[in-house]
Amino acid sequence: MAFVVAAILMDWMYNTFGYVHLLGMAHLVAWAPAFVYVLMRRKQLGMTTVFGKYIHFYLVFAGLLLGIDLLDVVRYLLGDGELYLRWA
């Protein structure tokens, strides 16, 4: 579900604003709730199984990426509205 929401938001935001730092907002809106849900359930999953280790790896990796997206959104809101890429 988060993937579909992120894809729809990303498409709309790209068509509206272009390829700017604000696109990270789509990831934050769609994936942050899923991240928080998994984070709250991590104790139930434990670390002894392969799945538990995968979940903890996901939390580290996704947390890092959500942090990068948050920085991008803050940069955009503080005035860095430059396009990443300009098509000729």
pLDDT tens digits, 24-51: 888 899 999 999 999 999 888 888 889 9
- DSSP state, residue 88: -
Q: How much is the pTM?
A: 0.77
pLDDT tens digits, 45-58: 888 889 999 999 99
Share of the chain above pLDDT 70, in %: 91
Residues 2, 68: Cα–Cα separation, whole Å: 18
8 Å CB contact between 73 and 25: yes
Q: Is it the case that residue 72 has pLDDT exceeding 60?
A: yes
Residues 70, 21: Cα–Cα separation, whole Å: 9
8 Å CB contact between 49 and 28: no
Q: Which two tokens stand for residue 34?
A: 């899923």
